[in-house]
Structure 1
Amino acid sequence: MKLNIERGALLKSLGHIQSVVERRNTIPILSNVLLEGEQGHLNLAATDLDLAISETVPGETSEPGGITAPAHTLYDIVRKLPEGSQVELYYDIDTQRLSISAGRSRFTLSCLPREDFPVMNEGDLPINFRLASIDLKRLIDKTRFAVSTEETRYYLNGIYIHATDDDEGSPVLRGVATDGHRLARFDMEQPDGAVNMPGIIVPRKAVGELRKLIDEYEGDVDVALSETKIRFSFADIVLTSKLIDGTFPDYTRVIPEGNDRVMEIDAKQFAEAVDRVSTISTDKTRSVKLSIGEGKLQLSVNSPEHGTATEELGCSYSSEDMEIGFNSRYLLDILAQINGDMAEVLLADSTAPTVLRDMTDEGALYVLMPMRV
């Protein structure tokens, strides 16, 4: 294999590809990126056996062929090459080494044969639809902060995506995530082709990689899936992931319907006040107490080690006075997703789940469990 490629294009693609590769691998081939030079382009691929990514970039290939090279090392080499330079990749069959040359710089890397590189068998992906990248970004951003990191509850380690109807009976594509302490739900218009899709759980790592890849992409994303795998295709990138083999709990039972105490408050001021008073909290939960009365909200934190903190805000509230406590970090995570000026907080009592909404975004809903303070 021998080809020339622009350093910037190669670096961008390697940045995407190497992100999937785990830093520590017991299987050597999984530390490598697959490089395949073909007429007019270079194909790159990487996998961790659960997630696979491939990308095509333009390049001048004089000798077609393929090899695998250490992904992170190759990325670091290309990153440090002169900006704007042309990079020559040449694999010598006799020495079984890949040489990387740019200007006066030359590196050689030990390689493994491409025949050893594992290929993920996608199988049949019968459900196909297309999403605008901006909608996919919103679905991820509005839910992934609530994904559980507790490995024993593996079925919560991803975003549950399914086709359903909203409260008005309109068909929607819904994403849900929960860690048992908070729940995030986001609805978007159901795309053509998604009506018969099974409920799937997209793993946390796949969600994170997808979000990074579409960060600056403004086109459509083609989605194909089965009950065990999902594939996202856009630009010259294909990301394929296994789905979590488990049953997502019935989240609808967690969302309360009888919360009739309504508080409306400036979301930004609320978040800033929570952040300020929680500064002196020393316990792991960083709990904050909300004392709600007509037209006002008082936030307070009591720390045996550091002292106390209080702050009062104006709000719209006309029900009975009440007190309730929350984990301040969980509350801040939810408030960070509210893009409008006002947040709507629906309460029942000090022990019942609380619902939070963005008053400018009907598709998003959040549930937060209270705690004793």
Structure 2
Amino acid sequence: MKATIERATLLKGLSHVQSVVERRNTIPILSNVLIEAAENGSMRLMATDLDLQIDETIAAAVDQPGAITVSAHTLFDIARKLPEGAQVQLSAAEGRLTVVAGRARFNLATLPRDDFPVIAEGELPTQFELPAEMLKQIIDKTRFAISTEETRYYLNGIFLHVSEDASGEPVLKAAATDGHRLARVTLPRPEGAEKMPDVIVPRKCVAELRKLLEEVDGSVGVSLSGSKIRFDLGQAILTSKLIDGTFPDYSRVIPTANDKLLKLDPKSFMEGVDRVSTIATEKTRAVKMALDRDKITLSVTSPENGAAAEEVPGDYSALPFEIGFNSRYLLDILGQIEGDLCEVHLADAAAPTLIRENDKSPALYVLMPMRV
């Protein structure tokens, strides 16, 4: 194999693929990136951790087609440190890869292409397109609620499923929960998603997809089966195994009869919560909300650090009462609300609280209270 490639092009491609590669690997080839130079003047970069695979095609001047695998992190670090505008020559022979750019020359160990594992996709019967902006919205508004508890592996991703809304319109729903909070986004069902199976997209796939979406305009092709999902992002294709588990029936925890309505400006409320929670301890992060007529008093009491309180404006006319929340969870939710008004639907100090911009907004959040 022999090819010449722009340093910027190589660096961009490698930055995408190397982040899939785990730093510690018991199987040496999983630390490597597959580099495949084709006669048509394109170069394919591919990396996998056996659950997630990224396959990116970049432009290169190919003198001699061929394929080799080399340490992904090492090659990425080399490309990162090369001078801007450099032309990088890659040539593979006798089990080594030579990288030449200007006066710099590197000789790297390689492993054969035939040993490189590829995720077998099988049939992906459900195929549809989603605008990149819509996919970003789905991820941003739900992923903070993904559980990190390995024992509840079925919560370690975003749950995608199709259903009907209250008016009978077909919709696509994305949900994530860690048992303390729930985030759900509802969108019109894309064409082709009618018979889509319920799927859970793993956390790592979600993170890599979000990075790749930064450089995508237009639409993303989504193909899936009950066990695999593929995102076609133009130059890059991301393929992932899905979480093999059953997502709980989260609709049961979405309250429908919370009769106390609080309306507030999410930005100023968020700043107030952030300020008083400065003295909250790492362990509890508890903030207390005392609700009275058109007035909310936020307070935090910490045995080690002291106490803090702040009054924030809000529109509230129901009976006064107090409720406590984990301040970090509350800030995560408030940070996703884009408008200058949001609705907080409360029942009592022990019941789940519903937070949303209004009844028309696609995103909805549920937060479990804390004892304070």
TM range (shorter): over 0.9
Q: Is the 8 A contact 1:128 1:225 kept in 2?
A: yes
Secondary structure of the equivalent of 2:362? strand
Residue of structure 1 equivalent to 2:151: 152
Aligned residue in 2 for 1:313: 312
Matches for 1:128-147 after TM superposition, within 5 Å: 128-147=127-146
**Which residue identity does 1:70 align to in structure 2?**
S
Superposed CA offset, 1:84-127 (max 9, x none): 1110000012xx10000011110010000000000110000000
Residue 5 (structure 1) aligns with: 5
Q: How does 1:4-43 map to 2 (within 5 A)?
A: 4-39=4-39, 40-43=41-44
Alignment correspondent of 2:121:
122
SS at match of 1:111: strand
| Cα offset, 1:273, TM superposition | 0.3
Structure 1 residue aligned with 2:224: 225
Residue by residue over 1:243-266, the C-alpha shift from the partner in whole angstroms, topping out at 9 and shown as x without a partner, is 000000000111111001000001
State the distance in 2 between where 1:361 and 1:276 align. 30
TM-score under structure 2 normalisation?
Answer: 0.99
Q: Which amino acid aligns with 2:106?
A: F
8 Å contact from structure 1 (residues 271, 332) kept in 2? yes
Aligned-partner SS, 1:362? coil
Paired AA for residue 275 in structure 2: R
Aligned match of 1:107: 106
Determine the C-alpha separation between the residues in 2 that align with 1:207 and 1:201: 10
Corresponding residue for 2:300? 301
Cα distance change on mapping 1:210 and 1:361 into 2, 3 Å: farther
Matches within 5 A, 1:210-359: 210-359=209-358
Take 1:368 and 1:74, find their aligned partners in 2: how far apart are those partners?
Answer: 44
1:198 is aligned with what amino acid? P
What letter corresponds to residue 277 of structure 2 in structure 1?
Answer: S
Could you list the per-position Cα deviations for residues 49-91 of structure 1 after superposition, in whole angstroms to 9, with x for gaps in the alignment?
A: 0000100001111111000000000000011111011100000
RMSD, aligned CA? 0.9
Q: In the TM superposition, what is the alpha-carbon distance from 1:283 to its structure 2 partner?
A: 4.5
Instruction: Give the aligned residue type for 2:130.
Output: L
Deviation at 1:218, TM superposition (A): 1.5
Task: Give ranges in structure 2 of 5+ residues lacking alignment.
Answer: none
- CA distance in 1 between partners of 2:82 and 2:303 (Å): 55
Give the direction of change, closer, same or farther, for the CA distance of 1:99–1:360 in structure 2 (3 Å limit). Answer: farther
Partner of 1:77: 78
Per the TM alignment, residue 168 of structure 1 is displaced from its structure 2 partner at its CA by 2.6
Q: Cα offset for 1:359?
A: 3.1
Match of 1:54 in 2: 55
Name the amino acid aligned to 1:10.
Answer: L
- Give the TM-score normalised by the residue count of structure 1: 0.98
Residue 169 of structure 1, CA deviation: 2.1
Cα shift at 1:327: 0.3
Quote how far apart the aligned CAs of 1:216 are: 2.8
Alpha-carbon distance between aligned partners in 1 of 2:166 and 2:296, rounded to the nearest angstrom: 30
1:219 Cα deviation after fit = 1.6
> What amino acid is the match of 2:279?
I
Give the SS at the match of 1:212: helix
Q: Is the 1:22–1:31 Cα contact (8 Å) retained in structure 2?
A: yes
CA contact (8 A) 1:340 1:360 kept: no
Contact 1:340 1:359 in 2 (8 A): no
Once residues 305 and 3 of structure 1 are traced to their aligned partners in structure 2, the CA distance between those partners, rounded to angstroms, is 63
- Kept in 2: contact 1:270–1:313 (CA 8 A): yes
Between Structure 1 and Structure 2, how many residues are aligned? Answer: 371
Query: Structure 2: how far apart are the matches of 1:15 and 1:359?
Result: 39
Distance in structure 2 (CA, Å) of the matches to 1:283 and 1:215:
33
**Distance across 2 between alignment mates of 1:285 and 1:161:** 31
Residue equivalent to 2:205: 206
Specify every segment of 5 or more residues in structure 1 that has no aligned partner in the other structure, as ranges: none
Q: What SS class does the counterpart of residue 324 from structure 2 fall into?
A: strand
How far does residue 306 in structure 1 lie from its aligned partner after superposition? 1.4
Q: Secondary structure at the match of 1:99?
A: strand
